Chains A and B, each alone.
Chain A
Amino acid sequence: MTARTLTIALLAALAAACGDDTATSPTDTETAATGTTVTYTGTIDVGGSRFYSFTNGAAGSVTAFLASVTAPDTRLPVPAPLEIGVGVPAGTDCATTTTQIVAPSLASQMTVSLAAGIFCLRVGDAGELKAPVTFAVRFTHP
């Protein structure tokens, strides 16, 4: 392997490792007359975030709530709020236009009016995580 090839390979590896933001798939979706309800789950490291891209079939409101923040090993709630936000995908990140720091709830915490198009929902450490956590966000979009 030449020095140039090695350099490119190293840069590619570093670029992949640098981003805490990771676009991932939800674990559950339901479609009804009121819209599509998505349960987005994943794990966030300290200082990290993840996002999920979705398509609004029509203009309308997106509602979301942070349903669960738990320790991966015990699966019991962790008293740490997370930041949830809605925005547009931008490269390997989600450029949020609306964000909110919230504690877990089972009722809507964020309602955002959006046009038809491609958007993203981002979940991230609000600065209070001491260890990785597992999260679940439930949101509904048109």
Chain B
Amino acid sequence: MRPHALLMAVLALAAAGCDDASTATSPTATSPVTEIFSGQFFPGGTAARAFSAASSGTVSITLTQIGPPADAVVGLGVGIPQSTGAGCLLTQTIQTGAASSPQLAVPVDAGTYCVRLYDTGTLAATVAFSVTIVRP
């Protein structure tokens, strides 16, 4: 290998090493965390999911999709999980259709909470849903 080529190889290795070091020290955002809860439920039914807040802060919950029909309205609530793991003891609820901004925003301590969807008596058929949960 000629001296010029050797110098280029050394410089390339040095540059690669700098990139690795930069990547390793970049901070990683851990909060807030966004998670999606999706599925379907039957007329008269309910769906619930537990989630954790790593620290105190605000939990925002958005029912982004429900239906068909697209204008379906259901109950959306937040609370704490039952100890049996089945169900959600509700703190606050709202009757709502799909939206792009949070329908529920509640301050929480660090801990385990849950979101629950339920039929308010208006569903005629099974609906699919998607809920976005943003938590500390």
Mutual binders A and B: yes
A134 contacts which chain B residues (CB < 8 A)? 89
* A49 adjacent to chain B (CB < 8 Å): no
B111 contacts which chain A residues (CB < 8 A)? 37, 138
Are the C-beta atoms of B89 and A106 separated by less than 8 Å?
no
Are the C-beta atoms of A106 and B78 separated by less than 8 Å?
yes
Query: For chain B residues 87-116, which have a beta carbon within 8 Å of chain A?
Result: 87, 89-93, 106-109, 111, 113
* B80 adjacent to chain A (CB < 8 Å): yes
What secondary structure prevails in chain A residues at the interface with B?
Answer: strand
Q: Give per-residue flags for B44-82: 1 if the beta carbon is below 8 A from chain A beta carbons, else 0.
A: 000000000000100100000000000000010111101
CA distance in complex: A76, B79 (Å) = 11
Are the C-beta atoms of A41 and B78 separated by less than 8 Å?
no
Which of B75, B91, B92, B93 gathers most chain A CB within 10 Å? B91
List residues of A whose CB falls within 8 A of some B CB. Answer: 27-28, 37, 39, 41, 63, 65, 67-68, 70, 75-77, 104-108, 134, 136, 138
List residues of B whose CB falls within 8 A of some A CB. Answer: 56, 59, 75, 77-80, 82-84, 87, 89-93, 106-109, 111, 113
Q: A28-B83, A68-B90, A76-B75 are in contact. List 12 more A-B contacts (CB 8 A).
A: A27-B84, A37-B111, A68-B80, A68-B89, A76-B77, A77-B77, A77-B91, A104-B91, A106-B78, A106-B91, A106-B106, A107-B107
8 chain-A/chain-B pairs, Cβ below 8 angstroms: A39-B83, A67-B80, A67-B91, A75-B89, A77-B91, A77-B93, A106-B78, A106-B79
